[in-house]
């Protein structure tokens, strides 16, 4: 299980064919298919979905997605695909030249799928927002696209250079049969079992949950103290005390870590 994303091509009305999928990551090559106009078209829908999810009304949420199966998916026409994939290739040639062989196969494979007029790609990646939030991932996508367009080689989030499957193409059985570079990358991946990080975008909002935990921690300290007064060093009191210490330590550690990352971003 996990947060999955899908890259497919629309072939007929209400019918699409899956090309690639991803699990707990957003492949960088997929982002390279997008541009600001495509994001602008979907942004209002994503914000509407975010508002709906924040309502925590399970019935409304279920009805919404049932009645709108492709809602929130990015639509990429062939013209946009050709334009954006070219910009991404130029970026990768400078930033990650080792990815070019598999990227070229990825490009050719998708291009070959545009066999009929009016076909377009669909990127269903909204589950990846589960690692941060809809607003944060949308902001990150705009930032990644800007870096591609301006050839800014610093601060790319989603390209995992040591794992060009999860961080580049995504997974595809058909593509593996067509691309020797993909097949080799997959074999190397199986041997090395890379442990790439889940997508986590660090912004000021990332501080909020850890600050909240730190604010609540004294309450549990007080509860532990009251338990000690009443029961002494019982097993319950000891467990509460140790858990409370872990909350303090982890929250402080994460606050320092996130603050350091935010400061480093400002320096770039």
Tens digits of per-residue pLDDT, 24-60? 899 999 999 999 999 999 999 998 888 888 887 777 8
pLDDT, the chain, mean:
83
Lowest mean pLDDT among 154-163, 175-184, 192-201: 192-201
Which strand (E) or helix (H) includes residue 19? strand 15-23
Q: Which residues contact 105 (CB under 8 A, 6 or more apart)?
A: 175, 178, 179, 181, 182
Residue with tokens 């409304």: 60
Residue with tokens 């929250």: 251
Q: Are 155 and 268 in contact (CB under 8 A)?
A: yes
Report the share of the chain in percent with pLDDT over 70. 85
Report the share of the chain in percent with pLDDT over 90. 44
Confidence at 255, pLDDT banded by 50, 70, 90: low
| Sign of the torsion angle spanned by Cα atoms 48, 50, 53, 57 | negative
Confidence at 263, pLDDT banded by 50, 70, 90: low
Quick check: helix, strand or coil at residue 238? Answer: helix
Question: What does the alpha-carbon distance between residue 83 and residue 81 come to, in Å, rounded to a whole number?
Answer: 6
* Interval 189-204 mean pLDDT: 54
Looking at residue 239, what is its pLDDT?
79
Task: State how far the alpha carbon of 4 is from the alpha carbons of 11, 21, 64, 118, 124, in Å.
Answer: 22, 7, 19, 27, 9
Confidence at 155, pLDDT banded by 50, 70, 90: confident
Task: State how far the alpha carbon of 154 is from the alpha carbons of 86, 143, 265, 268, in Å.
Answer: 20, 11, 10, 8
pLDDT over 60 at 243, yes or no: yes
- DSSP β-bridge partners for residue 21: 6, 171
Give the residue among 121, 166, 130 at the shortest CA–CA distance from 23.
166
Q: Please state the pTM of the whole predicted model.
A: 0.69
């Amino acid at each position: 299980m996990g947060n999955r994303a899908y890259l497919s091509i629309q072939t007929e009305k209400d019918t699409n064919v899956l090309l690639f999928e991803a699990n707990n990551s957003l492949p960088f090559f997929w982002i390279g298919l997008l541009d600001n106009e495509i994001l602008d078209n979907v942004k209002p829908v994503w914000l509407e979905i975010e508002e709906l999810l924040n309502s925590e009304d399970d019935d409304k949420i279920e009805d919404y997605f049932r009645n709108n199966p492709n809602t929130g998916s990015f639509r990429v026409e062939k013209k946009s695909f050709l334009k954006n994939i070219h910009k991404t290739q130029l970026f990768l040639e400078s930033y990650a030249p080792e990815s070019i062989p598999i990227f070229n196969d990825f490009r050719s494979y998708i291009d070959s799928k545009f066999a009929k007029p009016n076909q377009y790609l669909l990127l269903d990646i909204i589950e990846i927002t589960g690692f941060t939030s809809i607003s944060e991932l949308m902001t990150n996508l705009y930032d990644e696209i800007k870096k591609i367009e301006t050839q800014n080689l610093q601060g790319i989030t989603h390209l995992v250079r040591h794992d060009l499957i999860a961080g580049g193409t995504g997974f595809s059985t058909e593509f593996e049969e067509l691309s020797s570079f993909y097949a080799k990358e997959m074999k190397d991946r199986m041997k090395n079992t890379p442990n790439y990080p889940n997508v986590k975008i660090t912004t000021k909002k990332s501080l909020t949950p850890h600050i909240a935990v730190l604010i609540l921690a004294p309450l549990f300290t007080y509860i532990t103290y009251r338990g000690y007064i009443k029961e002494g060093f019982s097993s319950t009191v000891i467990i509460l005390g140790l858990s409370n210490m872990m909350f303090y330590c982890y929250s402080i550690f994460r606050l320092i870590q996130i603050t350091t990352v935010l400061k480093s971003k400002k320096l770039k």
